[in-house]
Structure 1
Amino acid sequence: MTQEILDRRATAVIEANKYLALGTVGADGLPWVTPVYFTPDGHDTFYWASSPNSLHSRNLAERPDVSIAIFDSSVPIGGASAVYFRAQAALVPDDELDAAATIYSSRYAELRRYTADELRDDLRLYRARATEHWVLVTGRDPEYGTGLDSRRPVFGR
């Protein structure tokens, strides 16, 4: 499987899905995973809006290392496509909020358009920047399946 094919598969998964599963770790050392609507900015940066009081937001304020999975849960068993990331996440800084709010609100017509001012209080804009990337290759892949699902690095990582 060429790297170009793997990268295209990963890009297709990112572009086709609206939610990502965000994995954080609490002060107690226990993991917490939550789905969030996201807007990608390429394949390295992901934006979402959340309350700063939500558990995942409190977790990443203390520990910015996160894990992300993006996948389509509506496909039949055995037909999965997925991408996985390790990333650093944080609030979008105020001086970048206008531009980031425009990116975040641009993805889907049904997404409410948020102004930067609306994302400075009860709802905040967060950004994860991927540090490692993988794509799922299913065991049944007609060209590259080995019988077992595997993940392969993508995007030059």
Structure 2
Amino acid sequence: MTSTDPVVRTIIDANLYMVLATADEGGRPWASPVYYAHADFREFFWVSSPTSTHSRNLAVRPELGIVIFDSQVPISTGQGVYMTAVGEQVKDTELERGMDVFSRRSLLHGGVAWTPQDVQGEPAIRLYRATVEEHSILAKDGQPDHRVPAHLGS
């Protein structure tokens, strides 16, 4: 059983925040909600301080989990998108594209325009990217936390 493209796409487009699940070098978990923008549902961008716990965790252990869900729906009706990904701070040579993606979504949601200069120098805020390896959703078959792969196609 696999999900249809619209389920994953709708959830990702309809929400503003994703929860990053990172771990430090010893495996201690840490969860952080961040505002995000995406490119083709496979790359997710956010801005953060390199000194924040999730950023420090990604520097030593880039594997992460991500979940996006609507927490306002009635009990037992919710659906979420779960992703495994690899996270990193975006290199200066790739900032233009990443900041364009982030800025467009920020403006769409009433935020400000962002430029590469906003994530360079001081104050120390940087652009991060998660490259998704796998998407999944809940099966909705009565089994608790039964996730099924979600294929977005090419």
> TM (normalized to structure 2)?
0.89
In the TM superposition, what are the counterparts of 1:42-61 in structure 2 within 5 Å?
A: 42-61=40-59
**Which structure's relative contact order is higher, taking Cα pairs within 8 Å and 6+ residues apart?**
2
- Separation in structure 2 between the aligned mates of residue 60 and residue 91 of structure 1, nearest angstrom: 8
> TM (normalized to structure 1)?
0.88
Residue 93 of structure 1 corresponds to 91
1:89-133 Cα deviation digits (max 9, x unpaired): 001111110121011010124122121011123110000000111
Residue 136 of structure 2 corresponds to 134
Q: Identity, % of aligned pairs? A: 39
Deviation at 1:43, TM superposition (A): 1.4
Deviation at 1:32, TM superposition (A): 0.2
Deviation at 1:22, TM superposition (A): 0.1
- Separation in structure 1 between the aligned mates of residue 49 and residue 86 of structure 2, nearest angstrom: 18
Residue-pair matches, total: 148
For structure 2, the residue ranges without an aligned partner over 5 or more in a row are none
Residue 148 of structure 1 corresponds to 143
RMSD across aligned C-alpha pairs, in angstroms?
1.6
CA contact (8 A) 1:6 1:135 kept: no
Deviation at 1:147, TM superposition (A): 2.1
Tell me which stretches of 4 or more aligned residues in structure 1 moved more than 6 Å.
none
In the TM superposition, what are the counterparts of 1:114-125 in structure 2 within 5 Å?
A: 114-121=114-121, 122-125=124-127
- Separation in structure 2 between the aligned mates of residue 151 and residue 7 of structure 1, nearest angstrom: 15
Of 28, 31, 37, the match for 1:30:
28
Deviation at 1:156, TM superposition (A): 5.8
- Separation in structure 2 between the aligned mates of residue 109 and residue 66 of structure 1, nearest angstrom: 26
